[in-house]
């Protein structure tokens, strides 16, 4: 996992979607991105509270990977109670914007599901 940057799946990538998905593969990455986008700058414990259900291990791991991928910026203050601040880089911001359309699609899907009670894929597809 640490060597993910050097382990392409077959060729480097099959297409752009593939590359984008690689960067945010992980249960919580999109949520972290969103949280960071919404608040600008967040500390570790704030993110932990802002992303409900995430474990400390996963949060660190995902943050490190996103840092490697140049999506988030990590600022460490060598203070007595350790303080670390996370924020989005420019690439992080543009990724978030690219995610906008997908988010809208997802919300429409939630609406559909909410109305049609799920289970009737046939009915949804009409």
Partner DNA sequence: TGCGGTACTTACCTTTTGGTGCGTGAGGGG
Partner DNA sequence: CCCCTCACGCACCAAAAGGTAAGTACCGCA
List contacts with DNA (CB under 7 A).
1, 25-28, 43-46, 53-58, 60, 63-64, 74, 76, 80-84
Greatest alpha-carbon pair distance for the chain in Å reads 62
Residue among 12 and 115 whose Cβ is closer to DNA: 12
- 92, 72 contact by CB (below 8 A): yes
Residue among 80 and 117 whose Cβ is closer to DNA: 80
The option from its own copies, DNA, none interacting with 82 (CB < 5 to 8 A, set by class) reads DNA
Residue 18 CB, nearest approach to its own copies (Å)? 7
Asked whether position 5 contacts its own copies by CB under 8 A, the answer is yes
Three-state secondary structure call for residue 18: helix
- 88, 69 contact by CB (below 8 A): no
The option from DNA, its own copies, none interacting with 23 (CB < 5 to 8 A, set by class) reads its own copies
Taken in order 97, 58, 79, 35, is the CA torsion positive or negative?
Answer: positive
Residue 19 CB, nearest approach to its own copies (Å)? 4
Of 19, 45, 49, 83, the residue at the interface with its own copies (CB under 8 A) is: 19
Spatial separation of the C-alpha atoms in residues 72 and 109, rounded to whole Å: 29
φ, ψ dihedrals at 84, nearest 5°: -130, 130
Residue 33 CB, nearest approach to its own copies (Å)? 8
């Amino acid at each position: 996992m640490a060597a993910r940057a050097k382990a392409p799946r077959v060729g480097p990538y099959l297409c752009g979607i593939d590359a984008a998905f690689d960067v945010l593969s992980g249960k919580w990455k999109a949520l972290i991105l969103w949280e960071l986008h919404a608040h600008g700058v967040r500390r570790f414990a704030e993110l932990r509270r802002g992303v409900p259900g995430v474990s400390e291990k996963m949060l660190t791991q995902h943050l490190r990977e996103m840092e490697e991928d140049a999506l988030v910026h990590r600022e460490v203050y060598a203070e007595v109670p350790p303080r670390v601040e996370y924020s989005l880089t420019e690439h992080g911001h543009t990724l978030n914007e690219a995610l906008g359309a997908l988010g809208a699609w997802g919300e429409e899907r939630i609406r559909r599901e909410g109305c049609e009670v799920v289970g009737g894929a046939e009915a949804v597809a009409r």
